[in-house]
Amino acid sequence: MPRGNAVVTGYGFYAPSRVVTNHDLEKMVDTSDEWITSRTGIKERRFAAQGENTSTMATRAAKIALERARLRPQDVDLIIVGTCSPDYLFPATACLVQDALGAEHAGAFDVEAACTSFVSAIAVANGMILAGSARNAVVIGAECLSRLLDFKDRNTCVLFGDGAGAVVLEASNASVGVESAVLHADGSKGELLYVKAGGSRVPATNETVAQGQHFIRMQGGEVFKLAVKSMADAAEEALAEAGVGLDEIDLMVPHQANVRIIDAVAKRLHFPMEKVIVNIQRYGNTSAASIPIALAEAAETGKLKKGDRVLLVAFGGGFTWGAAVMEWWGVPIPDRREKTIVERAARTVDDLLDRVRLPSP
């Protein structure tokens, strides 16, 4: 397989049409628009409609990204979905997306690192493309968190939203592409943000359901403190690994968990907020989907342009955290289709020659 740098050639996002405002939530739980806005920056979020779920949203985002990349589903080598709200425990949501896209030659699996899932999936896809084991990958972050929310728990139900974002990464020498990706974890703090029941440790029973153990629970204050330091440290590490200075970063796209966390990370890094993408006011915390949604929206609105250097930084349950530096390309590789045709023709000629070659005496 041809090797090259992993370059973004397409991007897309999907946000369900149902908008749920803070005022809507005031009618469901003891909260206020004032509290939610001042503590988190969130004004509204999207909730999936009946019949929509993580794989359907992931598929919609992936289709847009593939169209932009001018890559046909049957030419896709790899599909990775980052999610902590998969359709099923198994099969992987990525397999459902593979089927829905008709990506008949693609391998597919999920990456689960909560809100760090998209950055983790980028790290994996980048590694496989650099190693030559995939020519391209559709990397998706998708969540349907509204199905995991307890609308009696005001600590969590006001924070999260649904949606999906995707990028197509391809081997190319047209750009430096992904320049670094660093990942970290601290499993000892897993229970500060988790869904307790439904897995093999606490299987689902009538009792676990009655106690709401299948919903997201979080000790927000503890998570907040760790998020700021970890995200800033990961950003610095990814920059050092890429050999890039913070002054060379055109845009930072952080995980959208809380505008106060984003502010604090930017302050800690001495990075100007004008160069930071913030869209949490419209989508809430969409976990693995927040970075790819923000990336795609920034590219669509012209805030992110070809040749810009982007810093992605994430933090989430696990605990997990990580960052990546990449040069944004965002357009199809110009000569890919021609190259594919030439490669196919060469393979056909090889096959024909093999068939007519006489066995050695």
Residues within the interface to ligand UT7 (CB under 6 A): 31, 35-36, 39-40, 115, 154-155, 158, 220-221, 223-224, 227, 257-258, 261, 285, 287, 315-316
Nearest approach, Cβ of 160 to ligand UT7 (angstroms)?
8
For residue 275, how many other CB atoms are within 10 A of its CB?
15
Instruction: For residues 199 and 332, give the distance between their C-alpha atoms in angstroms, rounded to a whole number.
Output: 41
Report the residue number, 6 or 158, with the smaller CB distance to ligand UT7: 158
Which residues are annotated as catalytic?
Answer: 115, 255, 285
Report the residue number, 16 or 316, with the smaller CB distance to ligand UT7: 316
The helix (run of H) or strand (run of E) holding residue 340 is helix 336-356
Report the residue number, 104 or 222, with the smaller CB distance to ligand UT7: 222
Q: Closest-CB residue for ligand UT7?
A: 220
Please count the CA atoms within 13 angstroms of the CA of 9 that sit on its side-chain side.
Answer: 27
Report the residue number, 282 or 337, with the smaller CB distance to ligand UT7: 282
Report the residue number, 227 or 253, with the smaller CB distance to ligand UT7: 227
Residue with tokens 């779920």: 53
For residue 162, how many other CB atoms are within 10 A of its CB?
30
Those residues whose C-beta lies under 8 Å from the C-beta of residue 287, and which sit 6 or more positions away, are: 83, 84, 85, 114, 115, 117, 141, 143, 145, 160, 316
Report the residue number, 40 or 56, with the smaller CB distance to ligand UT7: 40
The helix (run of H) or strand (run of E) holding residue 184 is strand 178-185
Residue with tokens 């369900």: 16
Q: What is the DSSP letter of 69?
A: H
Nearest approach, Cβ of 125 to ligand UT7 (angstroms)?
22
Q: What is the DSSP letter of 114?
A: G
Nearest approach, Cβ of 55 to ligand UT7 (angstroms)?
21
**Cα→Cα distances 71→68, 105, 112, 170, 302, Å:** 8, 13, 26, 10, 22
200-206 contacts, C-beta under 8 A, 24 or more apart: none
Those residues whose C-beta lies under 8 Å from the C-beta of residue 148, and which sit 6 or more positions away, are: 85, 160, 195, 214, 215, 216
